Amino acid sequence: MAKITVKVNGKVYSHEVEPRLLLAHYLREVLSLTGTHIGCDTSSCGSCTIHLDGQSVKSCSMLAVQADGCEITTIEGLAPSGSELHPLQEGFKECHGLQCGFCTTGMIMSAADFLQSNPDPSEEQIRHALEGNFCRCTGYHNIVKSVQWAAQKMKEDKAVTA
Amino acid sequence: MSNKYIGQSVRRTEDKRYITGKGRYTDDIKLVGMTHASFVRSPYAHARVISIDLSAAQNMPGVVAIFTGDDIKATGIVGVPTGWQVNFKNGDTMKEPPHPLLIATGSTSKHIGDPVAVVIAETYAAAVDASEAVEVEWEELDAVTDPFKAAQEGAALVHADAPGNLAFDWELGNPLSEVDEAIAQSAHVTSLEFVNQRMIPNAIEPRAYIGHYEEHIDKYTLYTSTQNPHLIRLLMCAFVLGLPEHKVRVLGPDVGGGFGSKIFHYTEEALVTWASKQINRPIKWTETRSEAFMLDAHGRDHVTKAEMGFDADGNVQALRIKTYANLGAYLSTFAPAVPTYLHGTLLQGLYTTPKIHIDLCGMFTHTVAVDAYRGAGRPEATYLLERLMDLAALEMGKDPVQLRKQNFIPAFNGVSEPGYQTQVALQYDSGNYQGVLDRGVEMLGYENFRQMQREAAQNGKLLGVGFSTYVEACGIAPSAVVGALGARAGLYESAQVRVQPTGKVSVYSGSHSHGQGHETTFAQVVADKLGIPMEDVDIIHGDSDAVAFGMGTYGSRSLAVGGSAIVKSIEKVLEKGAKIAAHKLECAEGDLEYAEGKWTVKGTDQSVSFGDVALTAYVPHVYPQGLEPGLDFSSFYDPANFTYPFGCHIAVVEVDTETGKVTLKRFIAVDDVGNVVNPMIVDGQIHGGLAQGIGQALLEGAIYDENGQLINGSYMDYAMPRADDLPMFELDRQETPCPHNPLGVKGAGEAGCIGSTPAVVNAVIDALWSGGHPVKDIRMPLTPERVWRAMQS
């Protein structure tokens, strides 16, 4: 067993974990943050995407011990403080960017990281950015629209605060 | 009554929990004392179990129990059954060999991943460790995976009591001799031999089950990622474990997509339920993606020879089909019905073809079960018809749009005009096929397309357009009809509308939502029919203890059948409510009208609200004599017919002549799914179906090697469409109401998947012809290599 300390959604946790425990399982099983989903065993589907020190990461592709000392954001902690929802969460609801909801949390986490580095993306750039996340329900059409909606909202929000 | 919600793109009420990570899928559920299961599975498609040695595994840390096929055999549990019976042409019953929960010593595995033992341990990791320590001695045997090869003499045998690997042979349509004669007399015959390849459904949530037996109340609870909790309870209790149904609760919590694959009763569901009683603790099993690839029932897998005969003017004279349909090793829940009653019955298509015959062999192979996958039989029928139509146009030098138009069944509304009786058993309820084709052609800008295509070819680029016009049968289904066709259950739906004393409404539906948005769509219907705010309506589903009964969600049936059951219950609520209102207003019931949530005495301003009447029903102090208190009604709705959505799909592709790479430039879909309650949700259903249909055409397909190993059983190897594989879709709609259900709705879940595949393949074939490569077929998926090779031949 190995001891790790992580900050998840603003809260610090310390646990003794098996060295082989995946970060995705740590979040789900130990912290009960079940919004991070597991859809495959080859780090291909993207359902388990979280932010590790501000970057999107597939949490099934790293061990919990590798996250020692890191700051993690999961879907449960994505909404900015004081807001109920992140603009992407709003966008997915507004544009029907989800159906069964299983890929949605990872999709939103990937898109959130992407919009940080590219706040004004083209359709092609959005599709390219999300190619690491599978959705079987939507055909991606409304996911692209959701991300476009969120990008616009974030731009407007920024203009208001500026 | 005017509609406030029906017809509006109301944003989904269920979304909040999903976008915030609060959805509750089966694997998210933890029970006190819960154990974890891992299965020991066959590494061979066909092998005999010589011996099983548990000694090492039993001593591994955390192991609670291990059960083998021998343990199951000793209980007398035979296995999971199928829900449909198809008879041989000669009237004999189909072959239905048992599908055991675990393989016993001396028996044989029949597909990769067939389980021999289950290890139950304190943690998932401990279960996996111990399952790897189980020693099984196998004797590997020859296997067959292709349905056509399985029918040949000398093929490895899947079941000793199914000679020739034949589960059944089956035919439908006009007498073969008449069809043979019509084909022989045709001026032109277009023929095509092709494979409709095997698809792997790939819902993103892997299957997950928790079995929980509680001794102190003698009750079982099964949490399952299913599309139909009551159907699972019925099959498992009555036909597998022999449990009393009232002592079994089946819950289908949030379910992460199904596409057919979560309809079926799987062995693991029964096993965790049974084993939970043996160890008196809850057991969770969640499959890995590798297991999902191997074990979730696959779709399609037909080997077909199709011939369509035309007269000199291009009028279709006859259609003759011979198909070998792969059923896999065991008959899954709907499996016998898919290639027969959901496929053969659709071969009329939208055309007036006077003579049709299909001859089909349902084949056992050493592969996992093949069953309903989005569209289930109708995509196979549409693929066949629409490929023939576009190919015939190319061969005869005719325009594919004109060829369709001249052969279309004329428009009929099914109300003042009768339905259309096909040659293959079904009677279409309504249709206006030219309407959707005309609209699709208009959206395409077809008049300019051929010019663009010629110019592109001169510049070394190949452009192609492919058409597909389809009709399907969904909203399944009239119980008497499916009973006559071999269904072992009815296909009605139930709904209970419980008006609470304060006028809030709880609706209990036997339909199950796993992405379809029932909590929104059904609430829109209820709110409008009762004239109350949507916020006052709650939709409850997925719990066999809460909902009286249900047949579940598949076959695009939820709104057409489940929604109609809700409407029936609402009618009963309003009928009783009127009695209470008349008593309160001291008038005759006939003097009342109901609108906007209140009963009003016609021509006056005297009225009583829905909430008032609800309260009175539960506090019946001043109340009609002889009337029971309460306002709570259940209904079962059994549809009068299938519903028949139809549409026109058009693909535009560009083919790279150097590499064979196909780029989908445009995809146009004009669908008629009847009346629409929530356009946003219906469009979303179409989008998802299109992606799966296009995926079949260009990217996806299961590949077994000759030994029965699934060689592309992971996301690294199986090409599912990603965001950058697809364009934005161009949709439009025509609304021809269904004439026989109260909402006039048909169903939209599968249409996108049914129409799209042949449109894409037709477009690629069209592109190749325009470049001087007159090929008839390219095997799906149309990978760059296959397209490139087709251009070299």
Q: How many CB pairs under 8 A join A and B?
A: 178
- B724 with A32: Cβ contact below 8 A: no
Determine whether domain B492-637 maps to CATH 3.30.365.10: yes
B15 close contact with A: CB closer than 8 A? yes
Q: Shortest CB distance from B204 goes to which of A45, A79, A89?
A: A45
Please list the helix, strand and coil fractions of chain B in percent, rounded to the nearest 5, in that order.
30, 25, 45
Given the DSSP bridges, would you call strands A2-8 and A71-73 parallel, antiparallel or unpaired? Answer: parallel
The answer to whether residue A51 neighbours chain B at the CB level (below 8 Å) is no
User: Considering the domain boundaries, does residue A135 fall inside one?
Assistant: yes
My answer on whether A66 and A101 are in the same domain is: no
End-of-domain residue from the set A77, A95, A121: A77
CA within 13 Å, CB half, B562? 31
Task: Say yes or no: A9 and A69 in one domain.
Answer: yes
CA atoms within 13 A on the CB side of B568: 21
Same domain, A52 and A111: no
- A49 domain-assigned: yes
Tokens coding A151 = 């990008």
* Predicted local confidence at residue A161, as pLDDT: 78
Q: Does B579 contact A at CB distance below 8 Å? A: no
How many domains are contained in chain A? 2
B651 and chain A in contact, CB less than 8 A: no
Q: Does B716 touch chain A (CB under 8 A)?
A: yes
| Model pLDDT for residues B550-609, shown as the tens digit of each residue | 999 999 999 999 999 999 999 999 999 999 999 999 999 999 999 999 999 999 999 999
CB-CB under 8 Å, B27 with A45 = no
Percent of chain A with pLDDT over 70: 100
Whether the pLDDT of residue A100 is over 60: the answer is yes
* Nearest residue of B to residue A97, measured between CA atoms: B684
Cα pseudo-dihedral B473, B406, B755, B774, rounded to 10 = 140
Report the distance separating Cα B63 and Cα B41, nearest Å: 18
Provide the token pair at B500: 């609470």
Q: Which amino acid is at B106?
A: G
Q: Which amino acid is at B385?
A: L
Q: What is the pLDDT of residues B613-658, one digit of tens each?
A: 999 999 999 999 999 999 999 999 999 999 999 999 999 999 999 9
Report pLDDT digits (tens) over B29-74. 999 999 999 999 999 999 999 999 999 999 999 999 999 999 999 9
Could you tell me the CATH number of the domain that includes residue A51?
3.10.20.30
DSSP element (H, E) containing B198: strand B188-199
Q: Strand B283-286 to strand B208-214: parallel, antiparallel, or no bridges (unpaired)?
A: antiparallel
Name the band, by pLDDT with cuts 50, 70 and 90, for residue B749.
very high
Handedness of CA A149, A150, A155, A159 (dihedral sign): positive
Per the CB < 8 Å rule, is A96 touching B683? yes
Tokens 């646990």 belong to residue: A15
Please report which residue ranges of B446-488 form alpha helices under DSSP H.
446-458, 479-484
For A102, the token pair is 């299983």
Between β-strands B537-541 and B505-509, what pairing exists: parallel, antiparallel or unpaired?
Answer: parallel
In-domain check, residue A82: no
Which residue, of A77, A96, A114, is where some domain finishes?
Answer: A77
CATH of B31-141+205-256+262-295, one of 3.90.1170.50, 1.10.3720.10, 3.90.1150.60, 3.40.50.1820: 3.90.1170.50
- The arithmetic mean of pLDDT across residues A73-100, rounded, is 97
Cα(B226)–Cα(B779) distance, integer angstroms: 33
Q: Tell me the mean pLDDT in the region B417-436.
A: 96
Chain A, nearest residue to B293 by Cα:
A40
Q: Does a structural domain hold residue A17?
A: yes
pLDDT score at B460: 86
From the list B689, B644, B648, B737, the residue with the least C-alpha distance to B433 is: B648
Q: How many CA atoms lie within 13 A of B677 on its CB side?
A: 29
Query: In terms of Cα–Cα distance, which of B723, B722, B755 is closest to B646?
Result: B755
Q: Are A107 and A88 in contact (CB under 8 A)?
A: no
Quick one: which of B278, B289, B292 has its CA closest to B120? B278
Q: Which CATH class is domain B391-476+642-792?
A: alpha beta
Provide DSSP, B23-40: --BGGG---TT-EEEEEE
With respect to residue A124, please indicate whether it lies within any of the assigned structural domains.
yes
The answer to whether A146 contacts chain B (CB < 8 Å) is no
Whether B771 shows a pLDDT value over 90: the answer reads yes
| Mean pLDDT computed over every residue of chain B | 97
Q: How confident is the model at residue A160 (pLDDT cuts 50, 70, 90)?
A: confident
Asked if A138 lies within 8 A of B687 by C-beta distance, the reply is yes
Among B1-5, B340-344, B478-482, B613-617, the minimum mean pLDDT is found in B1-5
Q: Which of A31, A49, A77 lies at the terminal end of a domain, its last residue?
A: A77
Specify whether A66 is located in the same domain as A92. Answer: no
In single-letter form, the type of residue at position B778 comes to: I
Domain-wise residue ranges, chain B: 31-141+205-256+262-295, 391-476+642-792, 492-637
Q: How confident is the model at residue B1 (pLDDT cuts 50, 70, 90)?
A: low
Strands B662-672 and B730-733 come out as: parallel
Q: Which residues of B touch A42 (CB under 8 A)?
A: 289, 714-716
The per-residue pLDDT for B232 is 97
What pLDDT digit, counting tens, does each position of A142-153 carry? Answer: 999 999 999 999
Residue B85 pLDDT:
95
Q: Chain B contacts of A28, Cβ < 8 Å?
A: 28
Q: Helix (H, G, I), strand (E, B), or coil: what is residue B692?
A: helix
Nearest to B377 by CA among B467, B470, B292, B308: B470
Owner of token pair 């997915």: A92
Assess whether A14 and A57 both reside in one domain. Answer: yes
The per-residue pLDDT of chain A, averaged, comes to: 97
Lowest mean pLDDT among B485-494, B512-521, B733-742: B485-494
Torsion sign across C-alpha atoms B170, B173, B174, B179: negative
Of A79, A1, A88, A75, the residue nearest A31 (C-alpha): A75
**Whether the complex's predicted ipTM surpasses the cut of 0.95:** yes
Cβ of residue B690 closer than 8 Å to a chain A Cβ: yes
Q: Same structural domain for residues A72 and A6?
A: yes
B-chain CB neighbours of A22 within 8 Å are none
Domain containing residue A11: 2-77
What does the alpha-carbon distance between residue A135 and residue A101 come to, in Å, rounded to a whole number?
Answer: 9
- For chain A, say whether B177 makes contact (Cβ under 8 Å): no
Q: Is A162 part of a structural domain of the chain?
A: no
Cα separation, B147 vs B492, in Å, equals 33
Q: Which of B19, B681, B726 sits opposite A93 (nearest CB)?
A: B19
Looking at the fold, whether A91 and A132 belong to one and the same domain comes out as yes
Strand (E) or helix (H) holding B183: helix B176-184
Q: How far apart are CA A37 and CA A86, in angstroms?
A: 19
* Among the partner residues A134, A139, A144, nearest to B690 by beta-carbon distance: A139
Mean pLDDT, residues A24-50: 97
Report the side by side order of strands in the sheet with B592-595. Answer: B592-595, B598-601, B607-609
pLDDT tens figures, B229-252 = 999 999 999 999 999 999 999 999
| Tens-place pLDDT, residues B273-329 | 999 999 999 999 999 999 999 999 999 999 999 999 999 999 999 999 999 999 999
Q: Are residues A105 and A72 in the same domain?
A: no
Is B722 touching A (CB cutoff 8 A)?
yes
